[in-house]
Each structure stands twice: as C-alpha cells, then as structure tokens.
Amino acid sequence: MAPEPYRAGQLLAWIWDRRAVSFGEMSSLPRSLREELETRFEVGLPEVVERTPADDGATKFLFRLQDGAQVEAVRIPMEQRVTVCLSSQAGCALDCAFCVTGRMGAGRNLTAGEIVGQYLAMAREESIAPRTANVVFMGMGEPLLNVPNVLSALDLLEREVSPRRITVSTAGVVPGIDALAVRSRRPNLAVSLSAADDATRARLMPVNRTWPIAALFDALRRWPLEPGRRVTFEVVLIDGVNDSVDAARRLARLVASIPSKVNLIPLNESVEWLPGLSRPSPEKVDLFGRTLADAGVAVTVRWSKGLGASAACGQLKGRDVPAHRGTRSGPRG
C-alpha cells in the first residue's frame, strides 16, 4: 500500500526542520515505513571534501556530490548574522573575464536538493541556527540558467530564511529574470553589470551579446519592486578597463532609471586563472565611488572577504582542472 500523501510533509519536516540524517530518527513515521524507506532511499548531504578558512573568518567549503561533481560554497561572518554563498551549477558557460568559474567552462545544473544541501551542510558544520542567515546565490554558475531547480530551492530555503534575506545574482539572463519576476515571494535581485556600454560589457561578459544592456534594463523595469526594495548592480572594477571617471558617469546615468544601489567590487585577482587583469588602486576605486555618489547613486565598495582562502567573489572553481581558458589576455579599454 502506498504511504499517505501527508507522510511527504512529515519527511520534509524531519529532514529540513529537525535536520534528521537517517530515517531511523523519524519517530513519527511507522516503523514499517521507516524500514521500507531505508531499503529504497538514503538521507544525506553533500560530502565535505575540504574546509579552507581565511584570516577574516570566512570559510570555503568544497563539496563532492553523489555523481562525483564538486562545487564550492562559502560561509561569511557578518556583524550580527552570517551570509551563506551557494553554487547553482558545477561550472559555468558564461565565460565572464573576471570569474575563475567561467574559466572552467560549462558544467551541469545542480538539483534543488544539491543547492539546499550546501546550506544544510554548512548549517550543521558551523552551527548556523534557523533564521540567522542571509543566503546569496553568488557561488559557482549562473542561477538563472537553472531556473526550475533554483525556484524549488527557494521554496525550501524560505522555510527558515525570509525572501528579503535571499539574493539571487545573475549576469543578465533576461528570460530567467522574467521567470523569477512572476514568483509571488521574490528574493532580492542582484545583476552583475560591470560596464554601462555594450562594447565594454560584451568584452567582459559575453552574455551581453545575447541580451545587451537595453534588453536587460527593459527586463529590470518589468521587475516588480515592492516599496523600499532595490535592485543591486554589481560592478567588478578592473584596472584600465572599466574604472575611469567617464565610465562612472556613464554608469550613473544608466542606473538612474531603476531604484537601485551599486556594489563596487575591486577585482579579486588570480594570476593563474585571470592573467592580464589587475585590481585598481584604492585611490581609483575611491574616485569611481565618489563620482557615483556625487551623481546621487547609492554606492558601496565591497572589499571581498575570503581572499586568503580563494573564496572571494569570482574565485570559486570547485575542482582542480587545467586553466584551459586562462591564456586569453585580459581585455583592455
């Protein structure tokens, strides 16, 4: 006889709310059902292969999934909360010039269980209590090229994390933005922009050739923003490429049409994977930020945590593979 439908809710509550790691713990289920489940299924989380701490308190986790694929995720301590950075793909096909994951090439989509499994594994390892974390989809992969699984992962995460504390970051995949926009409980949206003109952005982010800036901003204007919420634009600053005062002025004019804030991220360098690209001086970063602020843009400079563990934005690679795209010289502007 098939189990009653309500048993699925009990299973979810045991695995998610009570953090059960075996069917034997699920005392509200009949023993016969527990025994049957144990013969047919298993309860598990991604295997923690390695934990790499950084001096600033961040910890990078290397996970091995059931098929052997490896992904990385990061726990980042904040003043009053903790931020958990999750991966949505094993690899990435978008080939952004400033991202180590993009140097690896395409991998596969992660399932919803593999995405939230990273969160649950870090919660267990780091004793992260429910409703105390921010969750950001800023790890390996492009979340909006994996929309069905990301949406299912959001449904699970929201059992204990408010949508206002979840951020999905995209390189600008317009159909994915539209798919996420119709969700009744929307997370925060972050867009990796990095340049306000198509020529520079296409050199840095090939996705711009498919969805150029005009198409991207049309989608962002369709995004239903509740009062008090804003779109976050992420700008990776690269010395001599997109860090000029003129570039800042163009950026200020572009984002003025969207309730937004700008996060400036000085390039997290990787000599092996991102040759020819370097971080601007603090003075140039400060001048870029002041130019935006003087134009009325809400701006923050985000000096990334986790650099000492290669866990900062753009540094996740998940597996040891040759830097097969790393010979490409960096774009210069």
Under a CB-based contact definition with an 8 Å cutoff, are residues 270 and 307 in contact? no
pTM metric for this prediction: 0.87
Strands in 8-141 per DSSP E: 47-53, 59-64, 70-77, 82-85, 133-137
**Is 313 part of the annotated catalytic residue set?**
yes
C-alpha to C-alpha distance for 223 and 76, rounded to whole angstroms? 28
Q: Measuring CA to CA, which residue among 108, 106, 129, 122 is closest to residue 46? A: 122
Of 72, 114, 142, 234, catalytic: 72
Domains defined for the chain, CATH in brackets: 1-44 (1.10.150.530), 45-309 (3.20.20.70)
In the predicted model, is pLDDT for residue 88 greater than 60? yes
Q: What's residue 313's pLDDT? A: 55
pLDDT tens digits, one per residue of 301-315: 987 554 444 444 544
Of 85, 92, 96, 313, catalytic: 313
pLDDT tens digits, one per residue of 231-252: 999 999 999 999 999 999 999 9
In this structure, what token pair is assigned to residue 197?
A: 């003109």
Single-letter residue type at 135 = V
Mean pLDDT over residues 142-171, rounded?
96
Single-letter residue type at 261 = K
CB neighbour burial string for 152-168, b if at least 16 within 10 angstroms, e if fewer: ebbebbeebbebebbbb
Mean pLDDT over residues 209-216, rounded?
98
C-alpha to C-alpha distance for 12 and 157, rounded to whole angstroms? 12
Residues 6+ apart with CB under 8 A from 186: 163, 180, 224
**Is 114 part of the annotated catalytic residue set?**
no
